[in-house]
Structure formats: C-alpha cells, structure tokens
Structure 1
Amino acid sequence: MEERERDRDGAGRARSARPRDGLGRPLPYGAEGVARQPEGVVRAPELTVAEAQRLLDAGMPFHAHEVFEDAWKSGPAEDAGLWRGLAQLAVGLTHAARGNALGGARLLRRGAGALAGREDAYGMDVAGLVGWARELAGRVEAGGGPVDPVREAPRLGGA
C-alpha cells in the first residue's frame, strides 16, 4: 500500500483531498466522487437556506451540513446557534443514512434541542424542523437500517 503524506492547505491545516461520496464518506484516492462543497463561503442567509435545501433534496446531507457550518462560522453571533443546530440535523441525517442509528439519533436530538423554542428564521419552519428531527430520531432508534436521505430530507421552509 502506498504511503501518502497528510493533505494540508497553504497554512498547514489538515485538509483531506480524498474524493467523497454523496454522504461524505471518503473514497479511495483516484476514485470518482461528488463535487466537494467549498469551505468558507460567505452567503446571505436566504442563499444558505436555498443551497442547503438543494443539497438535502439531492440526498447530500453531509454537504448541506458544510453549508450550514459556513453560515455558523461566518455569520452574526446571534445566528450561530441556529446554523449550528441545522448543521447537527444535517449530520444526524447523514449518520442515519450511513446506517449509524445511535449517532444519527443523537445528533438529530441534539440539533432539535438547539433549535427548540427558536422563532422561524429566513423562511424556515423551525418548529417543523424540530418535529421532523425528533420523529426521525425515534424511527432511527427503533431500527430498520439506513434511511433514504432523499426521502427523509426535511423541507426547511415547511412547504
């Protein structure tokens, strides 16, 4: 097996250049993966929601989590909890789709807890997302194997 140096960016931070599948799982070097979400993109909140919804609808919740993470890290401090909670929901769906029921349910519940009681924001039905996450967490814990990330994708706007 060929030894590879760890992938690093220009500042020396670890950055995996391995291709990934639609659920963010690393693939072997040289394999064809899906396009990665660029990191550190600053978007208007409504564009964050639209891009995350596009990725969720495509069955790519891991990539949607990266969009939410960008908003969490680049946006105003008062919105950080909203975006972090949404990122946790997306990662919870990712784990549930990968077949990790325990991790998926935990993250879905953590994200729901972070969002519970928040007002709707940027056209999102926050209470609806909390309900979706808690219901999915219960089903994931009850078993049945990996969930379909397209079929289970939430509607951020509730529509």
Structure 2
Amino acid sequence: MSRIVSVGISEFKIASAPTILMTYGLGSCVGIALHDPVALTGGLAHTLLPAPVRGMDSMVKSAKFTCWAVDLMVEELIKCGCVAERLVAKLAGGATMFEPQHRTTHSGIGERNVTAAKEALERRGIPLVASDTGDDYGRSLEFNTVTGVITVRALQRPIKRM
C-alpha cells in the first residue's frame, strides 16, 4: 500500500516507493516531477513564480521559484541515492487563468513558469518526457514513485495519465 504525501504551494517533497506525491490547485503554478526509475524515488515541486524579481536575488533559494526548484530537488534526490543522469521529468500546470481582456500585471505567469521549468531542466540535462501545460484550466496531480506515472485531474476534463 502506498503512502500519500501532499506537496503544498512553494514546496517540494522527495519520496521513495511506494509513495504517491500529490499537489492540488495548479493554475498558473507548475508541478515539476523528477523520477529516477531505477531507485524508484522521485520529487515533486509546486512552484508559484518563474523567478525572483530584482532585489530578491540574494534571498534563500526556495521552491517558490520555478528557476530554483529543479536544482533543489536534484540535490536532495542525489542525497537519497538517485543518479542525476537517470532522472526524467514531467510537467503539469502553467495555465492562463484569465481571459486576455481581463489580464492584469500578472498575466503570462503560467507560460513563464513553464518556460522557466524547461530551461532549468535543460541546464541540468534532464529530459522532459511528458507534459500537460497551458490552456485555461487548473489541475491537480498525483505522482506515483513506483511507476513514475503522473495522473492529472481537472474539472470536467478527462483524467490524463502520463
């Protein structure tokens, strides 16, 4: 039987099999899952913003920012016995939650979060093997550390497994 671990906004968690990592309410936020299929260990981050704004560069790195979440998870996964070269990634979220005519100064955060995640993965050489991003609806996801499968749920949408 798998244990279930919830990942909150601006957090990441690392877990070994058999564990289900879950996060809820991904609107413009991005869920980043990293998995080592040999170690059966993975990490899930629920990032809020693409990067800190000027003047915040010296703050402590946290999973609040998409640009840092991948590095933070990789460091912890390696401590847990994972091999960086075996890691694969999956993304979900990054939606545009408002119609274009109603956008505010926060418009484009979802798209910028997805871009920041892809850039961070590329810097680390981690392949992105699946994603369910963009569009105009929120998502919740479950990440199975045994299989590496991400289950994405959204209101009035079919369940996606990737």
Per the normalisation by structure 2, the TM-score is 0.33
**Relative contact order, higher structure (CA 8 A, sep 6+):** 2
Which structure has the highest strand share of the two?
Answer: 2
Q: Which structure is larger by alpha-carbon Rg, 1 or 2?
A: 1
Which structure has the highest helix share of the two?
Answer: 1
